[in-house]
Amino acid sequence: MKEEQEPIKKVNEPNLIPQLTIDCVVFGFHDGNLKILLLKWKGTKGWSLPGSIVMQDESIDDAANRILKERTGLSDLFLRQFHTFGEVKRYNIAKHSKMLAHLIEKNLWFERAISIGYYALVDYTEVFPRPDEFSDACEWWELEELPTILFDHKKIIQKALQSLRLELNFQPVGYNLLPKKFSMPELQRLYEAILGKKIDPRNFQKKILKTGVVNRLNEVKKGVAHRAPFLYSFDCKKYQQVLEEGGLFFS
């Protein structure tokens, strides 16, 4: 019987970029509700973000897409890099030493790693979350009711949410979560879910229309008996132009 032996892992495993990771904050939206995707580490009660190392022959964008494809089954997602986390001591390594020992041994975990944060927006009814090899659950959590979060991932989640909210000021965040033709109340529900606050409908409509980035169509929403709302679509060309010229506020 031929016995196969694993090659001895060298320090600085040559096919990965040492001390660099990607962490993904996956926001799930459906019917006015915003959730977040978390993984439960095997043998612990702690939850973390979906993440991975970066391979030498892989761009950081490709690494983020790979992680999301593996966890959600989805590709071509609305995915944005939002911040890189590079404190010297991002987390208490001693606290997690037992949990991470086998990873550190395999050079898949470093005492210090710089993590590039990406956020994604998906329709959570389209996702079948799958745990990775280090976790035994992958589930959606309400933002207001998060479980125990490992490492510095709570900070990463907060920064992602802040970035997502601020990006509403200058770009068409989450257009992939709406039907191609949408009503103003549908767009407003998406924005309210992201902002975590109610917006005055008349102000909202006025502001959005003034930017010129949505076009009113000669159609109303079907299946609505009385006062059916008009339908709109995004004007992607105009949006691109606004983006290049400095965003919505000074447009």
- 162, 158, 110, 134: which is closest to 50 by C-alpha? 134
| Shortest separation between residue 86's beta carbon and a copy of itself, angstroms | 3
Q: Are 133 and 30 in contact (CB under 8 A)?
A: no
Torsion of CA 50, 39, 48, 101, to 10 degrees: -100
Sign (positive or negative) of CA dihedral 29, 30, 36, 39 = negative
CB of 157 to a copy of itself, least distance (A): 15
Closest distance of CB 62 from a copy of itself, Å: 8
> Smaller CB distance to a copy of itself: residue 127 or 160?
160
| CA 235 to chain CA mean position, Å | 24
* Residues paired with residue 116 on neighbouring β-strands, in sequence order: 22, 84
Q: How far is it between the farthest Cα atoms of the chain?
A: 77
In three-state secondary structure terms, 66 is: helix
**Residue placing its CB nearer to a copy of itself in the complex, 112 or 130:** 112
* Minimum gap (Å) between residue 168 Cβ and a copy of itself: 6
Instruction: Specify the pairing of strand 135-142 against strand 33-41.
Output: antiparallel
Q: How far is the CB of 222 from a copy of itself (least distance, A)?
A: 29
Nearer of residues 33 and 56 to a copy of itself, judged by Cβ: 56
Least distance from C-beta 180 to a copy of itself, angstroms? 23
User: Among residues 60 and 104, whose Cβ is nearest to a copy of itself?
Assistant: 60
Closest separation between CB of residue 10 and a copy of itself, Å? 11
> Whole-angstrom Cα distance, residue 38 to residue 93?
20
Q: Give the nearer residue to a copy of itself in terms of CB position, either 99 or 243.
A: 243
Instruction: Spell out a b/e string for 163-198, using b for 16 or more CB atoms within 10 Å of the CB, else e.
Output: bbeebeebbbbbbebbeeebbbebbbbbbbbbeeee
Residue number with CB closer to a copy of itself (167 or 235): 167
**Which residues of the chain form contacts with a copy of itself (CB under 8 A)?**
11-12, 17-20, 54, 56-61, 81, 83-84, 86-88, 112, 114, 116, 162, 165-166, 168-171, 191, 194-195, 197, 199, 204, 207, 243-250
Of 33 and 59, CB closest to a copy of itself? 59
